[in-house]
Structure 1
Amino acid sequence: MIPGLESYGRTVKQLKAFVPKEGEEQRQSQRLVGALVMGQAAKEDARYRNLFDQKNKEKLVSRLSAFFVPKEAPLNLILKHGFKGINQLTDFQDSGLQWDVWMDWELPFDTYFHASHSVFTCPILKEQCTCNNPPMRLTCGHVISKDAINRLTINVRNRFPRSRHLRFKCPYCPKEQNLDNAKSVDFHAWTIPAENEDEEAEEQVKFLQFVE
């Protein structure tokens, strides 16, 4: 991270929107920002010298690798679960029991597979979100499902069917919301877009970290 590079300026710009928690985390964040602002000179400064320790770098690389890379190869995991599921499907079909499945992605029996993707349950409707009913982030930072928003705005829709701007109150705080400002949350969007889309990249970082 060298001052003058485009990536450096973008990082500093995003850090201005970062709101750390109080206490030790806030102090560590302040030291990190100070080192970024000083750039290469921070390596010779006693206040920030330990941040450039190679041992810390190795620990960071190890933790990031464990976070972003699955412990087991995805193909091996798919094959293992697939073989197990086929055996259960065969046994179920041979039993002659009737299939009682409501959703395309449901199975008529318990598989006991560990969840391998992020899930979100709407705190209002107590239902798990899907592609057709994604989690939506309000301007206040609270996240509820799209169906919950539709139910909150149904009375307004009936009273003002031609209104272009539907407003409603967040069920967790008194802040008034505009339906057009609600944004769909993608918990899998960890990558930053191309460098020529700086504004979109900044919005995505804010979006995932729930920073206003």
Structure 2
Amino acid sequence: MMKILRIGFFHRVCVCVCVPASIMEQCACVERELEKVLHRFVMYGHQSEERLDELLRSVCEIRAQLVAFAGVQDADLSVLSQNMTQCCKNIKETVQMLASRHKDIHGSVSKVGKAIDRNFDAEISAVVAETVWDTAERQKYLSESIVEHLYRQGMLSVAEDLCQESGVVIDMSMKQPFLELNRILEALRMQDLRPALEWAVSNRQRLLELNSSLEFKLHRLYFISLLSGGIGNQMEALQYARHFQPFASQHQRDIQILMGSLVYLRHGIENSPYRSLLETNQWAEICNIFTRDACALLGLSVESPLSVSFASGCMALPVLMNIKQVIEQRQCSGVWTHKDELPIEIDLGKKCWYHSVFACPILRQQTSESNPPMKLICGHVISRDALNKLTNAGKLKCPYCPMEQNPSHAKQIYF
């Protein structure tokens, strides 16, 4: 039986995420084995058709000879007998050859399964907390995360189906921004700038507060689309250039380039020094800029939290599986007793850095929700456990200043 690798599936919903390089390498190994099997299947099919066609022609020739000899008395059948013997021999050899090669293909198919087993560990429960989804509240959070991801991806009908099947109720106020965002993105993919321009103009003040250049780049792209229409759009392009006036101080150089391109409009921008204005990657860039700024205005991260969590897990899981294997080999299972804590530090790359992690300089341990960092009056920061241990008779002396102070004046600065 062929083994099928499913990367993410929940309630008939397949979640598309960015897969890290290590997982991609493992998938590539399996894919190479699969390509070998497919190649052998194709070659086997071609060879089988050729040999069977040859046998069919031989049988047809012998049949024609039998018909020819049927009306002849005292005919010499020795030649026909030899032909029939040779044909039977060819049929037997062909059947044996096809069976042998078919058996070889079975070996290649089994190698695909072994490649999956070698590159992917099916049993990951040893590094996962057993109670991570044991409550209805946590399952609700998971369903909400998947629904939000689907809304971000524009898969609105799938999100609605998931809500019905999982019982998750999503407020319309949460749903509406994603509906509008996907409507505008779909228009941008169709190279229709009007919905995005209307949105940018209506949110101009908030975009300026973010120091965003979205509105200017939308006007710029619309102006370029007029330039690509040739000399017939010259007057319309000149009139549309008035939209650049509010952005003259911030984007003076870009505006000068756009206006200079009008000189070459008669001969075609694609044949001028301004041909770079017609690059097609600008549409993908404007989609990314719009998504980033729209999410910022909505108070959302640019990337889906589910995608980030999944990608982080894909990077961390192989390391944790290796640690588990080492612990089992050295028979020191008591080293890692709490699955909600990582036994080692795993570097997920700067892309997954959202805030720094504070380690107490006194106790040399990482802070947590139950042991948050505390800021002293003098400005030094230690963990709450260290604060309690250094407190003596209601007073605290900072181990760095040392300034004597009241521990109740310390402020929690995280969590």
Q: Structure 1 length as normaliser, TM-score?
A: 0.43
Greater Cα radius of gyration, structure 1 or 2: 2
- After TM superposition, the score normalised by the length of structure 2 is 0.24
